Structure 1
């Protein structure tokens, strides 16, 4: 059967992290591949794996080779050919001209100055500013004294705008011009800070602490910024700490977490609970060539170590518009089993997952075409929770509405920070009312990871 053959092929699509360690780097001096070869790879991969294959006429099973050839000839570059094969509803499939950048990024390695920021535009004005979300340790931003809550509106003396922010923030070294934002008014300041990017590996387990409330409740707080399998031990150790501290409640801060590994999301759900081992976490639905795949709550992380579970029946999750993919998977997949109190604003709305495909006979990294370094991550599955819930294109709506106050962001993990305070108020049955910020209507237009290959990715490393 075709389905069995395709499933066997899918088993050969191994994860980037597993293959990178055992694959010799190609020499930098490689022969340029013909565009036709790359287009052949793109078509072949999407024709087999693409989630929305059934919506694309040129990917139909009965299409003629002549029709495919004619279609390919209409596009001059791999990128525009790839885009032409995507569904109009697909916001997330991507192609890369150099898979080494992707591989580093999936391992958490980036060129980074340590300033993690968001960019917003102020409604009814032309003003755009960046706000510092957090600062990574041992980076240029830390050494230069950048702190959460700083506002900047200029790069190398040029004012940020909706048209130039990507270009201005691209160089490895740039100077930010600080500003003040108060009562809806943005005021430039004279102070500037020069920052330099360096190769950096970020540990996504950013903050782990416990707060004891007046009624003797112990609230664990975890700020977790990416579902990265390389740091599964660190994540599991955080839950060991929560166990030792006998927490009664848990707040998981995913406000800036754009996603990552589906397996790690599955494991985090099992850390939060533990009492549902072997029950359905989510179902992965593929195109018509594949059988659906069930993913279960489990008791081991990717390293084989036992999961440190809290057996909670309720969890608080902090979210914003930057919360996406594997973060949303965690929330949606826990909801059929425990009470998930979502605090913040609506999430991105990404329930589809990808896999990395290389130009090789079985689409794995081993045996990849030596004439180019193109790879792609098309959407290949969508996640469906145990109640059949999926297709949340508009994001997941919070239980408790709360917003970050750009004029006073507060300290992450501090009980007075607006989103955390809103969660603690619910934990304490109204004893810890959050501050009342003065909001100005703004629109998020970008963030520090927006140009990274793994931005808002949700992916499988392999298929069982």
Structure 2
């Protein structure tokens, strides 16, 4: 008997009879929710959806709390499955960019007071950080009055996320001299990011080069992405640079949209991606139209509506870093089935799997948890995936090897400069060292590590 994937309620409450299509519904539990009930719900859901379900125990342990029990079920290869309690904000992940409006790296800097220095990477326009004058490439040497060191960078950063308050001691750097500046106080608030930070076109040796800095696959801004490509097409763009160096991912539909605007020789029925799960979830081939039809927000998109912005290029330059993850990696890998992808920067994070969202759908709800267990391996139209260690760039360049950081989209940025050099035919040897600067804390990579690519129900 064919059986569609069930939602979490069905997993815990329904028994499917194979002789007939009748459904036996056990009585809904009453009274206080016990750990045994909660953990049984978790285990039943994981047994159906989880990619590594063969290694799960037969019975749920009633002793651990839900989060601890869930963590104990995870396979050793699983870095990204998560659970959180819906009515407990403290269980939700917090992100520097969406709390304080900036990202930063902490790197070794012997001339700094504690031998380490913070370097701001991205500042959300209109955020408190931006209003107070913080900009990309600024430096700081202390957090909440404590001097930064390579040993305390991660702890201090986590403390300000937990408290929602931060005082950054800014600094100026002149060669080997670090001069203390003013203290800037930041208070966390919810920030909605407009993910297109920069778009432009320029002429390079008779070629029209389009550039887009895109920081999140947020379906709310799909129209903005389409409009940007319409402008690129109107300008006669023949080369394209997509800057995903800080893009931690987002929507499957958003990734399909960007790909459809770039890739040549595809139509609505062309394969966007392939998913492969456990024995319950099976395998799924997803077309561009299928992926476009189920955005996380807003109405469905159609492939035909993208015609006015489709560039259909033969190659694309994509700039990446260790923060590039999830839907951004899916974009890179799936484009490789249809065109040349020239990747510049550092290796991506390595999220080659996706999750489904599981909640208790009963009314009233008894289990107040949401789970996102890894459910599918991701591959492109050629069946290529397996980038658990990240997608390796064609040209390895670390932006932190060329301080101070250039503004977003600036020609002096080493990753952009490399792309322009290749486009102009000016040689393929990099003028920047290939050494990778060690990061003792990376705010955006920490965010990318916590986000999971979510497969819409219609695409399971």
TM range, smaller chain: 0.7 to 0.9
Partner of 1:415: 411
Say if 1:195 and 1:309 are closer, same or farther in 2 by CA, change over 3 A.
same
Q: Structure 1, residues 405-428: CA drift from partner, whole Å, max 9, x if none?
A: 362111111112111111111111
Partner of 1:25: none
Q: Does 1:189 align with 2:185?
A: no
Say if 1:438 and 1:356 are closer, same or farther in 2 by CA, change over 3 A.
closer
Partner of 1:115: 102
Partner of 1:92: 80
Moved more, 312-321 or 197-206: 197-206
Say if 1:148 and 1:437 are closer, same or farther in 2 by CA, change over 3 A.
farther
Measure the CA separation in 1 of the matches of 2:198 and 2:342.
Answer: 20
Q: Does 1:220 align with 2:210?
A: yes
Within the candidate set 148, 158, 174, 2:146 is matched to: 158
Within the candidate set 362, 373, 377, 1:382 is matched to: 377
Partner of 1:402: 397
Q: Structure 1, residues 140-186: CA drift from partner, whole Å, max 9, x if none?
A: 11111001001123111112314523333223221101234566x68
Partner of 1:178: 170
Partner of 1:304: 301
Measure the CA separation in 1 of the matches of 2:415 and 2:446.
Answer: 23
Moved more, 133-142 or 4-13: 4-13
Q: Structure 1, residues 303-327: CA drift from partner, whole Å, max 9, x if none?
A: 3351231111100000011111111
Q: Does 1:291 align with 2:282?
A: yes
Measure the CA separation in 1 of the matches of 2:457 and 2:91.
Answer: 15
Unaligned runs of 5+ in 2: 12-30
Say if 1:209 and 1:434 are closer, same or farther in 2 by CA, change over 3 A.
farther
Q: What SS is found at the alignment partner of 1:7?
A: coil
TM-fit CA distance, 1:431? 7.0
- TM-score, normalisation: structure 1: 0.82
Partner of 2:323: 322
Moved more, 275-284 or 113-122: 113-122
Q: What SS is found at the alignment partner of 2:245?
A: coil
Measure the CA separation in 1 of the matches of 2:312 and 2:281.
Answer: 34
Say if 1:288 and 1:256 are closer, same or farther in 2 by CA, change over 3 A.
same
Say if 1:400 and 1:162 are closer, same or farther in 2 by CA, change over 3 A.
same
Say if 1:355 and 1:444 are closer, same or farther in 2 by CA, change over 3 A.
farther
Measure the CA separation in 1 of the matches of 2:4 and 2:434.
Answer: 56
Q: Structure 1, residues 98-157: CA drift from partner, whole Å, max 9, x if none?
A: 278699999x9985222222334569x974432211211221111110010011231111
Q: Is the 8 A contact 1:272 1:311 kept in 2?
A: yes
Give the length in aligned residue pairs.
422
Partner of 1:392: 387
Q: What SS is found at the alignment partner of 1:154?
A: strand
Say if 1:381 and 1:174 are closer, same or farther in 2 by CA, change over 3 A.
same
Within the candidate set 246, 265, 277, 1:275 is matched to: 265
Partner of 1:135: 123
Partner of 1:27: none
Q: Is the 8 A contact 1:316 1:423 kept in 2?
A: yes
Say if 1:374 and 1:10 are closer, same or farther in 2 by CA, change over 3 A.
closer
Say if 1:181 and 1:40 are closer, same or farther in 2 by CA, change over 3 A.
farther
Measure the CA separation in 2 of the matches of 1:338 and 1:437.
Answer: 28
Partner of 2:42: 42
Measure the CA separation in 1 of the matches of 2:192 and 2:93.
Answer: 9
Report matched runs for 1:229-378 at 5 Å. 229-277=219-267, 278-298=269-289, 302=295, 303-304=300-301, 306-307=305-306, 308-360=309-361, 367=363, 369=365, 373-378=368-373
Q: What SS is found at the alignment partner of 2:446?
A: coil
Q: Is the 8 A contact 1:11 1:463 kept in 2?
A: no
Q: What SS is found at the alignment partner of 1:450?
A: helix
Unaligned runs of 5+ in 1: 14-30, 362-366
Moved more, 174-183 or 36-45: 174-183
Q: What CA RMSD, in Å, does the superposition of the two structures yield over aligned residues?
A: 3.3
Q: Structure 1, residues 2-39: CA drift from partner, whole Å, max 9, x if none?
A: xx3243548999xxxxxxxxxxxxxxxxx985333332
Say if 1:391 and 1:42 are closer, same or farther in 2 by CA, change over 3 A.
same
TM-fit CA distance, 1:385? 1.7
Say if 1:186 and 1:381 are closer, same or farther in 2 by CA, change over 3 A.
farther
